[in-house]
Structure formats: C-alpha cells, structure tokens
Amino acid sequence: MCFPHLQDAFEGADALPGPQTVVHANDILIVKGAREEAERAQVDFNLGLTEVTGGSTALSDVLVSPEVGVAEVMLAPRSQYTGLTLTEAQIAQQYGVQVLSILRANRILPRATTQLQFGDALLVRGAWNDIAKFRIESDNFVVVGLPESMATQIARFTLRSWLALGALGLMVVLMVTSAVPTVMAVLIAAMIMVLFKCLPLENVYRAINWPTVVLIAATLPLSTALQVTGGAQVIVDTLVSTVGAMGPIPLMAAIFLLTAGFSQVISNTATTVLVAPIVLQMAMNLGLSPYPLLAVVAVGASAAFLTPIASPVNTLVMTPGGYRFNDYVKVGLPLLLIAMVLALLLAPVFWPL
C-alpha cells in the first residue's frame, strides 16, 4: 500500500491513539524505529509501508494540526521526576500526551529504561491544551519555545479572528487617547475576547501565570512586614550611613548589587517587589530622586546571569550547551558588571538625581 498524500490522509485524525484504540482497515499508523523492525512489522501484520520524508510529506506537517501538536520540554533542576523512568513517572498518562523521544546531550536514549535527569529533553505530542499543562508545572518542566504561538500560527482565520483584532485595536485607541485608565482598557479588550468566544474560557484561566500571582501576593506581605517591624529601616540606615556617605553613584552600585544578588536565587518579580519599597524610602531619606534608583533596581533584578536556576532561560541552554554551574559565573560575572556600569552611567542621564 502506498500513501502519496500522507498529509491528506491525516486530516481530521486529531485524537491520540491509546491502549483501547481499535485499528481498522486503511488506518494509517505513524511508527518510529529502525527500518528492519518496521519491515518485520510489515510482514508480521500484513501492513503497507511508506517512509515519511521531507518535502510535502514532512513529519512535522503530519504530526501538527490546529488541535494537536508537538513540543519539547526539559526537566527543571528540582523536578520531582528526576531519577524515574517514563513508566514510573507516568508523564504520558498524567498530561494526556505521547512521549516520542528522550534527548540527553545530543543522544537519543531508550524510553523504556532511561532514568530521567535534570536537563533531559522530552519530545511530546498531544492536544495543545494538554501541552500547555507543562508550562504550568514550572517546578518540574521548562517548555522550549512557545507552543501557544505555534498553535496560533496554524489556526484557521475566522470571524472571531477579526473580532480579536478589533478588540486589540480598541484597546490601543483607548490607551493612546487616555479615554479610560490603562487597566480598564485592557479589561474591556479581555471582556470582548471572552464574550465573543475568541478565547475559550478554560484558556483564560490557563493564560494567567498563577505561580507569579501567588509569588507576588506572598512577597507583598513580606515587604510590608519589613516596613512594620523596622527591618527595612535598618537596611536603609545601614546603606545610608556606609555607602550613602560616599555619594549617590556608590549608593546606586550597592543597590544594584543587592538587587542582583536576590535575583540569582528568586524571581526578578519577587526581587523587585521586595527591594523597591526599601529603595524608595532610602531616596526619601537622602532627598534624592527615586527614579534613577528604581531604574537601577529594575536592571539589577533582570541581571540573573550567575546561576543556571536564576531564570528559565539559563536552564534551557545548560544541557544543549554542555555548561556547568561555574560556566555561568565565568560568563555571567562580566555581563553583570557591564550591566551595572551601563545602569550607573545612563540612569542619572535619563532621570537626574
């Protein structure tokens, strides 16, 4: 049997096969393995065999549709699946996907016996909604790329697409003209999206980065506690009496290093929420403009270069690049110093002290 138009044969075949799937005549199965094994299966089960090659029948065209797609996910440093095999981890069953392969340092490993390690890349296929679940599990997985954007690129352009563009245009107009506050403009656009079903309701909840929301909600009381207990005042007084006496530029350098130090172990969002009130109070005590100091805080919170766990971006490149923990310090420390120098030079220019 020959399938010259393999892509056409898969139109509408978006359901993932499982143990209970019944195979019928003329069904097309996508299999992965050595050629001799595929040929043996062809003889044993009386199958037609065709090879998926490049061009119009590329494997990516076959596996991806508006409903189903593929993505690469990597194990995070503190993933609970480290040391487990795929059978023990039950990743396919929990997330409703197929694990197609495991990649470790440019080597494809056997799926049945491999014990997962930090940095292992899993190629998974499933419904876009199921793939999105990996992004929520940020403690266990890091999703490579943007599956949501890939799903959008192959989505069909419909009337709701025009409505979504209209909502976006309305939001921009409201923000530019200041007809309503910025927050209200965004909420109006989001409401239009939901009311006209441009975005499924379940995707609305999934699009919210709940770990970040919870992290900010937990950090705000910590910042308040520092203010109430006098901890913030102690930090302010210490910096003002030591570095502050040397002038505003050394003070800005100390603020940068303090913020950058926090950002190596916690997220930049939490770092900013924690440090910004302290810096604001410091500026008031010294009679300085808070704008350049807060700009330094923003840059310092983003200078997460020194550890592989400082940000998901650092984690993503660790295994493919073959980097070690010390490599981040060797490359990240010069970058950190460059960012600090530029911040100290430019912040006072745009926001005079």
Q: Would you state the pLDDT for residue 319?
A: 67
pLDDT reported for residue 53: 60
Give pLDDT, residue 170.
Answer: 92
Residue 201 inside a domain? The answer is: yes
Give the C-alpha separation, 233 to 239, whole Å: 10
- Mean pLDDT for each consecutive 10-residue tract of the chain (353 residues)? 38 55 76 76 78 55 67 84 87 84 83 84 82 79 67 63 88 89 88 82 67 66 71 74 80 88 78 83 83 90 82 71 82 90 90 83
pLDDT (0 to 100) of residue 146: 57
The per-residue pLDDT for 342 is 93
In a domain, 1, yes or no: no
Q: Which helix (H) or strand (E) holds 301?
A: helix 290-302
Q: What is the pLDDT of residue 172?
A: 92
pTM score: 0.47
Query: Count of CB atoms within 10 A of residue 200's CB?
Result: 11
Q: How many CB atoms lie within 10 A of CB 225?
A: 11
pLDDT value of residue 13: 44
Does residue 309 sit in the same domain as residue 221?
yes
State whether the Cα torsion 308-314-315-320 is positive or negative. negative
Q: Is the domain of 214 the same as that of 346?
A: yes
In a domain, 331, yes or no: yes
Same domain, 185 and 223: no
Distance CA 339, CA 346 (A): 10
Q: Are residues 226 and 288 in the same domain?
A: yes
Question: What whole-number distance in Å separates Cα of residue 152 and Cα of residue 32?
Answer: 27
Cβ neighbors of 191 (< 8 A, separation 6 or more) are: none
Q: Is there a single domain that holds both residue 198 and residue 218?
A: no
- Of 115, 118, 92, 87, nearest to 105 by C-alpha is 118
Pair 233, 294 in one domain: yes
- Which among 126, 153, 180 is the end of a domain? 153
Which of 153, 187, 222 corresponds to the end of one domain?
A: 153
Does residue 310 form part of some domain? yes
Answer yes or no: do 163 and 44 share one domain: no
> What's the domain range around 278?
210-350
